[in-house]
Chain A
Amino acid sequence: MSWALDALSAVLIGAGVLGFFAGTVGLLRFPDTLSRLHAVTKTDNLAVGLIVLGLMPQVDGVGAALRLALVWLLLQASGATVGQLIAEVARRDGAPPAEPAASGRRDRGPRP
């Protein structure tokens, strides 16, 4: 059983590292501020979530695993909040929206 758990951990941690890679590439290469924000907030959620899931089988006891999960939950809450606040600043500083509403997505663009 333990080799299966180790393999699972390795796959999840590897995927988490890829998530960080994707987030950083997005941060560096995406064309405008709000798109870059999109890339960064995905990292907070997904990449750390994968790492935490990968580490959970490797710690002793439920308490230690729950503490790992708490780290992830706290990062989710702060990532979501700071993402909103940064978007507010970006809009106030005059960053254009990623795409005009013509794409048909139901996003609320900057209100007049």
Chain B
Amino acid sequence: MAALMIWAAVAIAAIVAVGLVRVLCGPTRADSMMAAQLIGTGGIAVLLLIGVAAGAPAVVDVALALALLSAFAGVGFVLGGARR
């Protein structure tokens, strides 16, 4: 089972890494932001899979911290860059 989880983690990492194209090419700032959001979500899924596969609850805590703060950059993008 652990091997399957690692495979899934590698697959997700490879898939969302392709989304970097949108970060690099845009075309709009909104596209960069949502690509960053997708990569963040993918990173959290990768951490959950690695953590459960390795039986390390601390990694789930790392994912928890990332999930809690995952909106933070997005909120900052919108308010810092766009509001008046």
Judge A-B direct contact (beta carbons within 8 Å). Answer: yes
On A, residues with C-beta under 8 Å from B are 6, 9-10, 13-14, 16-17, 20-21, 23-24, 27-28, 33, 36-37, 40, 43-44, 47-48, 51-52, 55, 58-59, 64, 67-68, 70-72, 74-75, 77-79, 81-82, 85-90, 92-93, 95
Do B38 and A78 touch (CB < 8 A)? no
Residue of B nearest to A22 (CB): B15
| Separation of A71 and B70 alpha carbons in the complex (Å) | 11
A44 CA to B74 CA in the complex, in Å?
A: 14
Interface residues in B42-61 (C-beta closer than 8 Å to A): 42, 44-45, 48-49, 52, 57, 60-61
**A40–B63 touching, CB < 8 Å:** no
Q: Which residues of B contact A28 (CB under 8 A)?
A: 18-19, 21-22
- Interface membership of chain B positions 49-84, coded 1 if the CB is closer than 8 angstroms to chain A and 0 otherwise: 100100001001101100110110011011001100
Contact between B31 and A51 (Cβ–Cβ < 8 Å)? no
Residue contact B30 to A74, C-beta cutoff 8 Å: no
A24 in contact with B34 given A51-B48, A82-B74, A88-B78 (CB within 8 Å): no
A79 surroundings in chain B (CB, below 8 A): 37, 41, 70-71
**In the complex, which residues of chain B have a beta carbon less than 8 angstroms from the beta carbon of A9?**
1
**B56 to A: closest C-beta gap in Å:** 11
Q: Report Cα–Cα, A58/B78, bound state, in Å.
A: 38
A27 and B63 contact, Cβ closer than 8 Å, known pairs A17-B11, A86-B33: no
List residues of chain A with CB within 8 A of the CB of B42. 20
**Chain A residues within 8 Å of B12, by CB:** 16-17, 20
